[in-house]
Amino acid sequence: MTPYDDIASAASAPLIDGFGRTVTYLRLSVTDRCDLRCVYCMAEHMTFLPKVEVLTLEELDRIATAFVGLGTRKLRLTGGEPLVRKGMMDLVRSLGRHLRTGALDELTLTTNGTRLTEFAGDLAAAGVRRINVSLDTLKPDLFRKLTRGGDVAKVLAGVRAAQDAGLAVKINAVALKDDNAAELPDLIAWAHGQGCDITLIETMPMGEVEADRTDQYLSLKDLRRELESFWTLEDLPLNTGGPARYVRVAETGGRLGLITPLSHNFCEACNRVRLTCTGTLHTCLGQEDATDLRAVLRAGATDAELVSVIRGGIAVKPKGHDFQIARKAPAVARHMSTTGG
């Protein structure tokens, strides 16, 4: 038990937004820092947040527990890169108590994979059963270019370590017209050969980076047509709580997810919200809506007051995002690394 378990034990009405959607999925960013500098995610010379602005592990636990008490069934830890956060495993082990009580269905994380050889076993022991690993290419030179210095061998070793620890691994890859478009069929086949699902993601107009991200836009509708010229794709009635639509590739036997914020809006069934590492609640990835939970906590709010502010933030969740490929400026100014994916 922790001082915050009375929040979870006092579960009341679920979180329902103004459009009747029930929120059951929280993506919780634990840090804005990362050991890579992916070109579509952050600027090359990022200015990271001072420590005082970042939620403490105890504050992260308290907010997550409040959401669990309000019906959140899936909790995903993100970054930046979550495994660079000092004390990260203490938070994972603490939140794992909600799995043991049955209040939470799944505790998972999205990682770049560089530190999985160190942490995979601990994650599994804490109750994590599956993870997402971001990997856009298997080519060492291209990986180094896209991540500004990263080593793909570390990520591949991390994937193997995670699987050896009993974790299911899903690969996430951003589709980039000028970089990995031609490689995507090989990346899909590789992932399926490793026993991994893979999800492809259209590049999203978020945050100012050095390049024009819209120049890298690759429609996954077009990619699907290309894949269907040599593979058999079967639509699957699968919902994992995220925005992906899934198909099975008959020739590989594996699942392929497609996240298409630009070519196919996925907002009508959105059940998720995001909390930044600074305690800002964003109920839409592509809008500038924001509720400051850090200020509420640090002003000495009671559990009831915290829950009330969370409900207020959910009540104004927008109907949908505002991503448009025709617009050259980002739909939102914040970087993906600060939002938590």
Please name the residues in contact with 183: beta carbons below 8 A apart, sequence gap of 6 or more.
137, 138, 139, 142
Average pLDDT of the chain is: 88
Give residue 40's pLDDT.
Answer: 82
AA letter at 320: G
pLDDT of residue 61: 98
* Res 328 pLDDT > 50: no
Confidence band, pLDDT 50/70/90 cuts, at residue 135: very high
Question: 245 — phi, psi (to 5°)?
Answer: -105, 140
Q: What pLDDT is attached to residue 102?
A: 97
141-145's contacts with Cβ under 8 Å and 24+ in sequence apart are 142/179, 142/180, 142/183, 145/39, 145/179
Instruction: Measure CA of the first residue to CA of the last residue in the chain; give whole Å.
Output: 30
Whether the ω angle into residue 158 lies within 30 degrees of 0, i.e. cis, is no
Q: Which amino acid is at 214?
A: T
Question: Where residue 314 sits, what CATH number does that domain have?
Answer: 3.20.20.70
Q: Are 103 and 65 in contact (CB under 8 A)?
A: no
DSSP-based three-state secondary structure for 51: helix
Determine which of 161-175, 248-262, 291-305 has the lowest per-residue pLDDT on average. 248-262
| Nearby residues of 276 by Cβ (< 8 Å), 6 or more positions away | 29, 32, 282, 334, 338, 339, 340
**What gap in Å lies between CA 117 and CA 291, rounded to an integer?**
36
Supply the range of the domain harboring residue 13: 5-339
Rounded to whole angstroms, the Cα distance separating 12 from 53 reads: 31
Q: With both helix axes pointing from N to C terminus, report the angle between 140-147 and 152-164 in degrees, rounded to the nearest 10.
A: 100
Digit-coded pLDDT (tens) for 232-283:
999 998 776 567 899 999 999 999 999 986 655 556 668 889 999 999 999 8
| Tokens 């400051």 -> residue | 292
CA distance to 176, 238, 263, per residue, from 217 (Å): 6, 26, 10
CB 273 within 8 A of CB 242: no
Amino acid at residue number 232: T
Dist. CA 255–CA 133, nearest whole Å: 15
- Cα separation, 339 vs 285, in Å, equals 8
pLDDT at 78: 97
Report how far residue 91's alpha carbon sits from residue 29's, in angstroms, rounded to the nearest whole number.
12
Q: What Rg do the C-alpha atoms of the chain give, in angstroms? A: 19
Q: How far apart are CA 205 and CA 166, in angstroms?
A: 35
Q: Average pLDDT for residues 281-297, to the nearest whole number?
A: 87
Number of domains, the chain? 1
At 238, is the secondary structure helix, strand, or coil? coil
pLDDT tens, residue by residue, 3-43: 776 655 545 689 998 889 899 999 999 999 999 998 888 77
